[in-house]
């Protein structure tokens, strides 16, 4: 009999039993220690995701209105016109300058358009969680080129209003936060005076 045996019994159990026991212990330990850590990780990931979602909506509104503001400052002031319901703005950009004044260039129209699956009724008709959302388009009326500058705009909170020689732009962007189900609105207003 070796030192490892007393009365025919092994002092050290076989590998299979030890491994099974270790698995049970480690599983219990990981379950006790790991669960709060995993839950904490998932919670912080969701919080970060929601914060990023909010930031993205605010950033979209900021960039969008800055882009419009920059172009409208270049416009010929007397050419500015708005649609009576505030959903469209047209103006002419200068092509150049002569001794007698400004040479007119491209005519531009910015327009707020409701999404094809939506009706202006205060509810979400197309099932994307947003109500009465639409897009902002820019059309060059000379060449016909039309570009969608942004989607998911809150049309009820967006408008173009002309007051004497000044243009008041208001854009409201929407976002849906998947984890909390919250709807985010970010509005920006700029008063712009064309230089030409």
Q: How far is the CB of 156 from Ca ion (least distance, A)?
A: 10
Q: How far is the CB of 124 from Ca ion (least distance, A)?
A: 4
Q: How far is the CB of 142 from Ca ion (least distance, A)?
A: 33
Between 108 and 177, name the residue whose CB sits nearer to Ca ion.
177
Selected binder of Ca ion within 118, 153, 174, 177 (CB under 5 A): 118
Q: Is the dihedral of CA 148, 130, 185, 52 positive or negative?
A: negative
Selected binder of Ca ion within 22, 59, 81, 126 (CB under 5 A): 126
Between 2 and 121, name the residue whose CB sits nearer to Ca ion.
121
For the chain, report the end-to-end CA distance as a whole number of angstroms: 107
Instruction: Give the bridge partners for 161, in sequence order.
Output: 168
Instruction: Determine if 113 is a binding residue for Ca ion (CB under 5 A).
Output: no
Selected binder of Ca ion within 56, 71, 113, 124 (CB under 5 A): 124
Q: Which two tokens stand for residue 51?
A: 């914060």
Among residue numbers 131 through 190, which ones bind Ca ion (CB under 5 A)? 132
Radius of gyration of the chain (CA): 32
Task: Answer yes or no: are the C-beta atoms of 112 and 89 closer than 8 Å.
Answer: no
What residues contact residue 135 under an 8 Å CB cut-off, 6+ apart? 112, 113, 115, 148, 149, 150, 151, 152, 153
Residue ranges in contact with Ca ion by CB under 5 A: 118-119, 121, 123-126, 128, 130, 132
């Amino acid at each position: 009999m070796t030192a490892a045996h007393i009365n025919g019994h092994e002092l050290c159990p076989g590998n299979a039993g030890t491994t099974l026991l270790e698995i049970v212990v480690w599983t219990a330990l990981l379950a006790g220690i790991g669960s709060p850590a995993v839950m904490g990780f998932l919670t912080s990931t969701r919080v970060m995701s929601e914060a990023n979602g909010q930031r993205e909506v605010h950033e979209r509104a900021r960039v969008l209105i800055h882009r419009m503001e920059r172009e409208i400052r270049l416009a010929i002031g007397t050419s500015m016109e708005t649609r009576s319901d505030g959903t469209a703005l047209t103006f002419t950009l200068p092509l150049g300058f002569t001794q007698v004044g400004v040479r007119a260039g491209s005519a531009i129209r910015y327009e707020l358009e409701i999404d094809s699956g939506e009706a202006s009724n205060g509810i979400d008709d197309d099932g994307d969680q947003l109500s009465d959302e639409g897009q902002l388009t820019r059309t060059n009326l000379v060449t016909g080129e039309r570009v969608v500058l942004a989607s998911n705009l809150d049309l009820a909170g967006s408008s173009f209003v002309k007051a004497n020689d000044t243009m008041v732009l208001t854009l409201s962007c929407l976002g849906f936060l998947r984890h909390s189900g919250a709807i985010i609105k970010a509005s920006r207003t700029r008063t712009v005076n064309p230089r030409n």
